[in-house]
Amino acid sequence: MSFTPIRVAVLGSGFFGNTLAMACKDNNAFDVVAICDLDSASAQELATRAGARAVVDPAELAVATDIDLVMIATPNHTHASASIGFLQAGKSVFVEKPLAITAEDALAVTAAAALSEGQLLVGHVERTMPGIKRLFHQARSGKLGTLLEGYGSRSRLVHVPEGSEDWWKLDRTRSGGELLHEIHELDLLTWVFGEPVEIRTIAGAPRPAGSRIEDSVHKTTLKFGSGAVGYHELSTSAHVPDWKFRVSGTEAALEADFRTGKVSRYVDAVVTEQWGIFDSERANDSLRASAEKKQAYNAAGAAGPYWMQAAVECELAEVIAAMRGQESVLIDSPATAVIAGVEAMAQASQTQSSKGTPASTGALVGA
């Protein structure tokens, strides 16, 4: 069957807008029509490379008749209002994670999606990696027995470049905070286990004010409707890195280790099967190589590692499926992780202030 290309506009021509636009340009299923950024020079530069027109006013994208899908890759605090505007204009929206930085906004976007002719897809890229999809399908189809517990972690020492004091990624009012900005493993937990019915979070003190790293340690326990429990760890100050997702059932467990690029099936402490997070060994090698490097937030203009390019290709395959009315892992429960993350962060601030660390509050809000 032949399909007409999906006419796409990319909002935001920074680090990830570049990655998305160039991946779409290299994929026959897409026709990159427009690049929009408040920074007109940046929009023009990417538009030239992508063979698209440059646009400065996002409202122009909403009324354009030659756009099917808008990919939103702007700072996190802009996601909800941009998504709602495009959905109300009847466009499909692929919005980078997190969907929103408040629970109310996340629900407002899903409400707008329910009334729109367009689709709402959230860039939960880890769901789309082939090894993680296989883990999900095994867990959800009973191959692990009854699901008992889950574990997700993203702990590393994050380095921040000099001179980035005003960077939105370090400002909680624009990033939503570390837990929402790096929502990936929390999303995997809620994707596999469903909406949590109980959440308990304890946060450690942030690094000293002035270091510009906020929310440095969060430990969250979750209880799901099925009775299964989950544990989520996040740290920007861990000298011992850990980046894993694990689901355990009565018969077996599956563990994805993003630092080794492998998913392992365990039965009673013995590894009985293994597969890659990616189907391509080059991408798994790139994950392993990234694990050996110092970790930093990606700056506009930076070149992402190869595995990220491979991940975006997997993600685009899911976007294409959704746009063709087929099954896609990006459609399910778009707001759940944000709602859980917001609740976890509210509890984190309570645990911090109850310890009498008000000095940290300034650093937390990126004042």
Residue 219 CA to residue 344 CA, distance in Å, equals: 9
Residue 58 CA to residue 9 CA, distance in Å, equals: 10
Strand-pair category, 270-276 with 253-257: unpaired
78 part of the interface to ligand NAD, by CB under 6 A: yes
Residue 132 CA to residue 278 CA, distance in Å, equals: 8
Q: At its nearest, how many Å lie between ligand NAD and the CB of residue 300? A: 3
Backbone angles phi, psi at 181, to 5 degrees: -65, -40
58 part of the interface to ligand NAD, by CB under 6 A: yes
Residues 6+ apart with CB under 8 A from 76: 96, 98, 101, 168, 174, 175, 176, 180, 181
Residue 215 CA to residue 228 CA, distance in Å, equals: 27
User: What residues does 41 pair with on adjacent strands?
Assistant: none
83 part of the interface to ligand NAD, by CB under 6 A: no
Q: At its nearest, how many Å lie between ligand NAD and the CB of residue 351? A: 25
- Closest residue to ligand NAD, judged by C-beta, is 14
Q: At its nearest, how many Å lie between ligand NAD and the CB of residue 13? A: 5
- Four-residue CA torsion sign, 98, 102, 105, 110: positive
* Cβ-contact 233, 218 below 8 angstroms: yes
Complex with ligand NAD: residue 97 or 232, whichever CB lies closer? 97
16 part of the interface to ligand NAD, by CB under 6 A: yes
Q: Report the residue from 209, 300, 321, 331 that binds ligand NAD according to the rule CB under 6 A.
A: 300
Mind giving me the DSSP string for 295-342? Answer: EEPPPTTPPPPHHHHHHHHHHHHHHHHHHTT---TTTS-TTHHHHHHH
341 part of the interface to ligand NAD, by CB under 6 A: no
Q: Per-residue x/- mask for ligand NAD, residues 113 to 132, rule CB under 6 A?
A: ----------x-x-------
* Closest residue by Cα to residue 236 from 179, 308, 162: 179
Which residue type is seen at 355? K
Complex with ligand NAD: residue 25 or 223, whichever CB lies closer? 25
38 part of the interface to ligand NAD, by CB under 6 A: yes
Stretch that binds ligand NAD, among 11-19, 280-288, 337-345, 350-358 (CB under 6 A): 11-19
Complex with ligand NAD: residue 125 or 323, whichever CB lies closer? 125
Stretch that binds ligand NAD, among 30-38, 199-207, 230-238, 283-291 (CB under 6 A): 30-38
47 part of the interface to ligand NAD, by CB under 6 A: no
42 part of the interface to ligand NAD, by CB under 6 A: yes
Q: Report the residue from 10, 12, 191, 238 that binds ligand NAD according to the rule CB under 6 A.
A: 12
Q: Report the residue from 31, 68, 96, 187 that binds ligand NAD according to the rule CB under 6 A.
A: 96
Contact positions vs ligand NAD (CB under 6 A):
11-17, 36-39, 42, 58, 73-76, 78, 96-97, 123, 125, 181, 298, 300
